[in-house]
Amino acid sequence: MSTVQIETAQNVVLHHEVASVGDRMVAWIIDRLVLVAWFVVCFLLMAVVKPNDDLFMVIMIVSVALPYMFYHLVCELLMDGKSIGKAVQKVKVARVDGGQPRLGQYLLRWLLRPIDQFYGLGLVVVLINGKGQRLGDLAAGTTVITLKQRVRLQDTMLISVKEDHPVRFPEAIRLTDAQATMIKEVLGNTKVANRWALIEEMADKVRKAIGNNGDGLKPMEFLRAVLQDYVYLTGQQGEGTGHYKGERPTSPPPAADAPR
């Protein structure tokens, strides 16, 4: 499976797998169902109202046509590269060189969508390309990545946590897998010149993200403790042992300065 490297604002490189054809097809079907549901609502409204006014008819036709035309463009712009179907399948549009797609790239993908849909041409290109790119993606320099966790977090983190690990920061469960991965990368990146500044910056953001100041621990000790607690809590929750009864967030906390 191809991967895309995305560099965060903290100079940490995260690796994301390209979304599978199956995920993209399911997302496409969901988006189609959303549009069909909207069309049905509009036509039912017309049947109930039975308008004789031409202006009302024009308004209804526009109400049907505009969502069909601009659905994907508007959703991807407002939902961080996702449509409703993509959000359900946990996939999103991303630049192949890392970073956030720009307006022009979203626009180019949208403009070429009718060509990609012509006799399933986009699907054929995705299958041949091997990088999850249809024609619109090739032209825009984008692809579609998956946000799903394919393997256990403990395996990817390579962190050993005992079964009787004492949890110091239960608030660590508020972090997402991507945030925990960034913490691990910052701790393990010994080659950057400003390593200690990055560690301190990350510690400050983690304190705000979990709402705990760290009991006076030094930045590196605090991050290690939070990371171990996170791996333990998420691992126990995934195994269903009941050590943690809360719910994990599926997206980063809303705070603007939380690690992303």
Q: Looking at the predicted structure, is the pLDDT value of residue 100 above 70? A: yes
pLDDT in tens, 69-95: 999 999 999 999 999 999 999 999 998
So where are the chain's domains?
3-146, 155-239
pLDDT of residue 98: 67
Amino acid at 77: L
What is the pLDDT at residue 179? 85
β-strand partners of 143: 94
Q: Which residue has the tokens 């202006």?
A: 55
248: pLDDT strictly greater than 90 = no
Q: How far apart are CA 154 and CA 234, in angstroms?
A: 9
Distance CA 227, CA 32 (A): 40
Helix then strand then coil, % of the chain, to nearest 5: 60, 10, 35
Q: Is 135 helix (H, G, I), strand (E, B) or coil?
A: helix
CB 146 within 8 A of CB 91: yes
The letter for the amino acid at 162 is: K
Give the pLDDT confidence of 152-162 residue by residue, as tens digits: 455 445 566 77
* Average confidence (pLDDT) over 210-238: 82
The pLDDT, as a whole number, for residue 182 is: 86
Placement of tokens 């049907």 in the chain: 64
Torsion angle of the four alpha carbons 200, 224, 183, 258, in this order, in degrees rounded to the nearest 10: -60
Write the burial class of residue 14 (CB in 10 Å: 0-12 exposed, 13-18 middle, 19+ buried): middle
- Confidence band for 14, pLDDT divided at 50, 70 and 90: low
Between these two residues, 2 and 142, which has the higher pLDDT value? 142
3-state secondary structure of 117: coil
Rounded mean pLDDT of 159-180?
82
pTM for the predicted model, two decimal places:
0.58
Which pLDDT score, from 0 to 100, does residue 33 have? 96
Asked if residues 71 and 65 have their Cβ atoms less than 8 Å apart, the reply is no
> How much is the average pLDDT of 17-36?
93
